[in-house]
Structure 1
Amino acid sequence: MAHIRLRRTIPADKSTVFDALTIQEYISGWFAPHVIATPVSGTYAAFAFDEDQHFKVLLSEIVRDEKIVWEYTGGNLDWDHSRIVFRLEETGKGKTLLTFSQSELPDTGKVDKWRNSWSNFLDQLKRFVLKELSHA
């Protein structure tokens, strides 16, 4: 099984970054244009980029301003049994270190593609937080 781990420092507090990762309208601003999600542990979220790319996850753990865990439950991606974790750490002076990990990925030769996609999404998240959510 393969694993992806990425980090980004985002110049915003943990609460702002957490909101960008959990509020349906915000998620569609940086991730998938079509999102159905309620930030409550034990609920499901669905994401669609277009009719050819969509998936569903169980929001298995949500700890306000600390951690969000997604468990892949279906869709048309090769992520069977994959687990995605977003961890937030305060790094001082209104900055947040976001650590992203995706584990239990099948070795299908697509891991580099997924890593690049997630890297781009995290960059989009950072831009979204700076442009749409930061109130300087």
Structure 2
Amino acid sequence: MANIRHNLTITASTKQVYDAITLENGLKGWWTQEATAKPEEGNINHFKFGDEYFNEMKILKLNPPNQVHWECVDGDKEWIGTNLSFVLEERDGITFLKFSHLNWAEESEFFGFCSHHWGRFLDSLKSLCETGKGQPFIK
């Protein structure tokens, strides 16, 4: 199995970062403006990137404001069955984010592409939380 991992610091409270990861308006602010999301365990959130690409994430676990766990249940065939987690820890007003996208079948070319884009989108999350403006996917 192959795994993507990114760690970063965000100068914002864990609640602020957690809300950006779980609330529809937050997700639209840093990942994709075409998001349908509800922060409830068992809910399936839908994320669209243009006319043909999408992913659906089932919320496996929410532990406010420290953990979010998803499983991809539909969308890109390499994503289906993978697990994503956002683990947050606040120290002195700074949030430490540990992001993981786990259980890829292999380190394919697409895996590398996604790892790069996760880094870009996590920088967008950081920017949203620190400045109020992210750089989400816009159709």
- Residues 59-92 of structure 1: CA distance to partner in whole angstroms, max 9, x if unpaired? 01011011001100001352121000000011x2
Q: Does 1:120 align with 2:120?
A: yes
> Counterpart of 2:58?
58
Change (3 A) 1:77 1:125: farther
Distance across 2 between alignment mates of 1:23 and 1:120: 20
Distance across 1 between alignment mates of 2:122 and 2:103: 20
Distance across 2 between alignment mates of 1:19 and 1:87: 13
8 Å contact from structure 1 (residues 53, 76) kept in 2: yes
- Residues 15-51 of structure 1: CA distance to partner in whole angstroms, max 9, x if unpaired? 0110111110111110011111100111110000111
Change (3 A) 1:77 1:118: farther
Q: Structure 1: which amino acid aligns with 2:3?
A: H
Show structure 2 runs of 5+ residues with no match.
134-139
TM-score normalised per structure 1: 0.92
Distance across 1 between alignment mates of 2:47 and 2:89: 26
Percent identity of equivalent pairs: 28
Distance across 2 between alignment mates of 1:42 and 1:99: 22
Alignment RMSD, CA only?
A: 1.2
Would you say how many aligned residue pairs link Structure 1 and Structure 2?
132
> Counterpart of 1:93?
92
Q: Structure 2: which amino acid aligns with 1:94?
A: G
Distance across 2 between alignment mates of 1:81 and 1:89: 26
> Counterpart of 1:105?
104
Show structure 1 runs of 5+ residues with no match.
none
